[in-house]
Amino acid sequence: MFRTKYAELGPMSFAEGSVMAIFLTLVGLWFFRAPGFIAGWSSGFQLGFISDATPAVFMAVVLFLWPRRLPTYQRPQDGKPLPHPRKYEAILSWKVVAQKFPWDIVLFLGGALALAEGVKISGLTEVIKDQLEGVGSLAPLAVIVIVSLIVTFCTEVASNTAMASIFLPVVAGLAEVAEIHPLYYMLPVTVCCSFAFMFPVATAPNAIVFSSGFLKVTDMAKAGLPLNFGCLALMLGSLHTFGNWAFDLDNYPAWAPLQRNITATYPSLI
């Protein structure tokens, strides 16, 4: 069946080859923007002037300019007039974008990013930190379960980066106070930031799937809720098995600061 479907596609057209070449060029620009082992092409610009969005927007503009068909040039022969020239058409037109581009998904993701930024600016992050300080008196396993549940369901409506920036400093401080390996708290929080399965706004892949039009939000929520709890259980099991073996989570590491040393050195901070 796959060979039949592949044969039905026929040879690659000029437009398809052009799109592939533009995409590979975009990947190359992303990779060599600042690869680390050599000076990237972004070093020729002012610091902070170039981001990953710059080549993406540039390649999108190229799609609006690049022709769909290979240009042909003919010369008149025997005094015969040239045939009607082929009409120029770009690979991408604004009419197609306006009709088929998932603008609702863009608003979904934009709203999530705006919500995450609003949480930071409004001071809600500090309120969350203050509320979680009382959790430190519980057993370490209870702390992990509570914080993991909070992060798992908060990341459904906020970006992964926002959740990590909010909760990682909190749990790191809780680990230092309790003299528990910081990674014992931080690893679950980091992993749970990616448990975004329930809503289209949670992450870009969810939005892409939702834009197909075959799913409703309720369908994604019904399938995502069991996934959230299943991944939580798998994460907890992995943390206490090979996670403990890999990071020696039972012992407080030498590189982590001790709260009693901080108190003795800077008593005015307490």
Query: pLDDT (tens digit, 9 = 90+) per residue, 137-157?
Result: 788 888 899 989 989 988 887
Those residues with Cβ within 8 angstroms of residue 146's Cβ, 6 or more apart along the chain or in another chain? 135, 138
For residues 208-233, average pLDDT = 86
Mind listing the pLDDT tens digit for each residue in 62-90?
Answer: 999 998 887 765 565 555 655 566 678 88
Residue 61 pLDDT > 90 = yes
Maximum CA extent, the chain: 100
- Decide which of 211 and 93 is more confident: 93
For residues 189-206, average pLDDT = 84
Q: Which two tokens stand for residue 29?
A: 């620009």
Rounded Cα distance, 195 and 110, in Å: 19
Residue 262 pLDDT > 50 = no
For residues 237-266, average pLDDT = 74
Q: What is the pTM of this model?
A: 0.57
